[in-house]
């Protein structure tokens, strides 16, 4: 793919596809990571004299102008973060954005209203892509986290203008390549989360590509139950036992070690005050549920990490939202941060819950790379081609 190094930006109108789909609660942006990560590309383009036209989706308005899903609040947030004014157009195609784009001077920035206000966005409608292309002379995609969607602003328009990867897109792709494309070995993957059923393709792809696959979260309960351990009232998928056994067999054939918990923290309920204790996985009481992995398991994971050159992490170990069930996730996160600093472990993590868990553990800045993507990171780990990346050539 071509990066913006190849773009002669001076005086050009550049359409920049960003992912400004930031978390908002009661009208307040709760996490500005995606805004901050976009700044280097905007600044670089503006400094080179480009007229930067930023577009993005926000939430899922399904082709309607849902007022709560306007990108207008992001105009202020972006201007504050950039430290320069940001112009606004109330639509992403048509006379208003065309006039606003034409009025830009070199180095100025314009933000367009939500691309998903048009049904053509998600349908990858060529007419919408053409409307977007009309605004600019070049297209830069910095929305890795939306690259798993073949939409008009992520895929269609890339075929209509000279297309380039922005710095965030570039950083994401380089980090992922270092994680799974061409990684330093041994590679350890940690996969957590509630369900095997939503991560089947991911587990399949990883067993073929990594040396050790550590399984945490509620999905570990399903694997343990499939091995015959009674898991009490733990969350698990009874109908996935056969699948879990198949994954273990495939891993063995591919010489990938699957590391399952050897001890778990059990409690009566998923609640802060619930009394809890640690038990071996073969003695989970009938009336209790596993909500985290135990310290012996953490030791085993840390031993694998000390041997590893690369770590890919998606999904927490336990129900980290309610302490003390965050113990294993926080302990492993801190070891990963320490090993990244001391022994050059390349640590790459991603996915919505994973990022919250790493932030909770206070190590966000200390890993080699934390992806800003949720679904796109998962699809990439599944080995899929992302349409928004493929369209960059």
**Minimum distance between the CB of residue 309 and ligand 3PG, rounded to whole angstroms?**
29
Name which of 146 and 301 has its Cβ closer to ligand 3PG: 146
Rounded CA separation 49/7 (Å): 11
With contact defined as beta carbons under 8 Å apart, do 307 and 339 qualify?
no
**Nearer Cβ to ligand 3PG, position 22 or 225?**
22
The minimum distance between CB 374 and ligand 3PG, in angstroms, equals: 4
- 149 annotated ligand binder: yes
Mark whether 375 is an active-site residue.
yes
Residue 79: burial class (beta carbons within 10 Å; 0-12, 13-18, 19+): middle
Question: SS3 of 121, please?
Answer: helix
Would you say 352 is a known binding-site residue? Answer: yes
When asked if residue 379 is in the footprint of ligand 3PG (CB under 6 A), the reply is no
- Minimum Å distance from CB 33 to ligand 3PG? 11
Helix or strand (DSSP H, E) at 335: helix 327-342
The response to whether 34 counts as a known ligand-binding position is yes
Closest CA relative to residue 340, chosen from 305, 359, 368, 306? 368
Site for ligand 3PG in 74-93 (CB under 6 A): none
- Closest CB to ligand 3PG among 13 and 149? 149
Q: Is 233 annotated as a binding residue?
A: no
Q: How far is the CB of 23 from ligand 3PG (least distance, A)?
A: 9
Catalytic site includes residue 75: no
* Residue of 250, 275, 264, 349 lying closest to 305 (CA atoms): 349
For ligand 3PG, the binding residue among 40, 73, 204, 375 (CB under 6 A) is 375
For position 141 contacting ligand 3PG by CB under 6 A, the verdict is: no
- Confirm whether residue 351 is marked as ligand binding: yes
* Residue 60 makes contact with ligand 3PG by CB under 6 A: yes
- With binding defined as CB under 6 A, does residue 21 bind ligand 3PG? yes
- 19 assigned binding-site residue: yes
Report yes or no: 193 and 218 within 8 Å, Cβ to Cβ. Answer: yes
**Interacting positions 192-211 with ligand 3PG (CB under 6 A):** none
Cα 175 to Cα 102, 195, 341, distances in angstroms:
36, 26, 17
12, 13, 17, 34: which one is catalytic?
34
The span from the CA of 338 to the CA of 384, in Å, is 31
Q: Are strands 289-293 and 263-267 parallel, antiparallel or unpaired?
A: antiparallel
Cα–Cα distance between 235 and 60 in angstroms, integer? 30
Stretches 142-150, 244-252, 314-322, 357-365: which one binds ligand 3PG (CB under 6 A)? 142-150
The whole-angstrom separation of Cα 211 and Cα 255 is 7
CA distance 358 to 334: 9
Peptide bond into 324 cis (omega under 30): yes
352 is catalytic: yes
Q: Which stretch binds ligand 3PG (CB under 6 A): 98-106, 143-151, 242-250, 267-275?
A: 143-151
Catalytic residue among 84, 195, 233, 366: 195
User: The tokens 């969350």 sit on which residue?
Assistant: 235
Among 149, 167, 199, 304, binds ligand 3PG (CB under 6 A): 149
Q: How far apart are CA 134 and CA 153, in angstroms?
A: 12
Catalytic residues: 34, 195, 352, 375
Residues in the site for ligand 3PG, rule: CB under 6 A? Answer: 19, 21, 60, 145-146, 149, 374-375
């Amino acid at each position: 793919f071509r990066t913006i190094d190849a773009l002669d930006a001076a005086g050009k109108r550049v359409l920049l596809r960003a992912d400004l789909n930031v978390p908002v609660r009661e009208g307040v942006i709760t996490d500005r990571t995606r805004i901050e990560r976009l700044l280097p590309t905007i600044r670089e383009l503006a400094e080179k004299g480009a007229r930067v036209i930023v577009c993005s989706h926000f939430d899922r308005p399904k082709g309607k102008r849902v007022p709560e899903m306007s990108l207008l609040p992001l105009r202020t947030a972006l201007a504050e973060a950039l430290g320069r004014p940001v112009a606004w157009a109330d639509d992403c195609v048509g006379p208003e954005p065309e006039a606003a784009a034409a009025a830009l001077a070199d180095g100025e920035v314009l933000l367009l209203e939500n691309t998903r206000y048009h049904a053509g966005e998600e349908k990858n409608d060529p007419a919408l892509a053409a409307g977007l292309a009309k605004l600019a002379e070049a297209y830069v995609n910095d929305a890795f986290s939306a690259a798993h969607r073949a939409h008009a602003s992520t895929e269609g328009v890339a075929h209509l203008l000279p297309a380039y990867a922005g710095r965030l897109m570039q950083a994401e792709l380089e980090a992922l390549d270092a994680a799974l494309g061409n990684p330093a070995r041994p590679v350890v993957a940690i996969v957590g989360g509630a369900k095997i059923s939503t991560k089947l393709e991911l587990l399949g792809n990883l067993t073929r590509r990594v040396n050790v696959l550590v399984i945490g979260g509620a999905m570990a309960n399903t694997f343990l139950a499939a091995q015959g351990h009674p898991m009490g009232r733990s969350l698990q998928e009874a109908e996935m036992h056969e699948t879990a056994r198949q994954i273990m067999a495939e891993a063995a054939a591919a010489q990938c070690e699957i590391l399952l918990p050897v001890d778990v923290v059990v409690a009566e309920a998923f609640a802060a005050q619930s009394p809890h204790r640690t038990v071996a996985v073969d003695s989970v009481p009938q009336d209790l549920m596993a909500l985290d992995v135990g310290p012996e398991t953490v030791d085993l994971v840390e031993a694998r990490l000390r041997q590893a050159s690369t770590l890919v992490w998606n999904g927490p170990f336990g129900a980290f939202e309610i302490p003390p069930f965050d113990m294993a996730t926080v302990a492993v996160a801190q070891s990963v941060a320490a090993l990244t600093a001391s022994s050059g472990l390349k640590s790459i993590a991603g996915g919505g819950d994973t990022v919250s868990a790493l932030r909770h553990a206070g190590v966000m800045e200390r890993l080699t790379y934390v992806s800003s993507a949720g679904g796109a990171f998962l699809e990439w780990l599944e080995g899929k081609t992302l349409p928004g990346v493929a369209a960059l050539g």
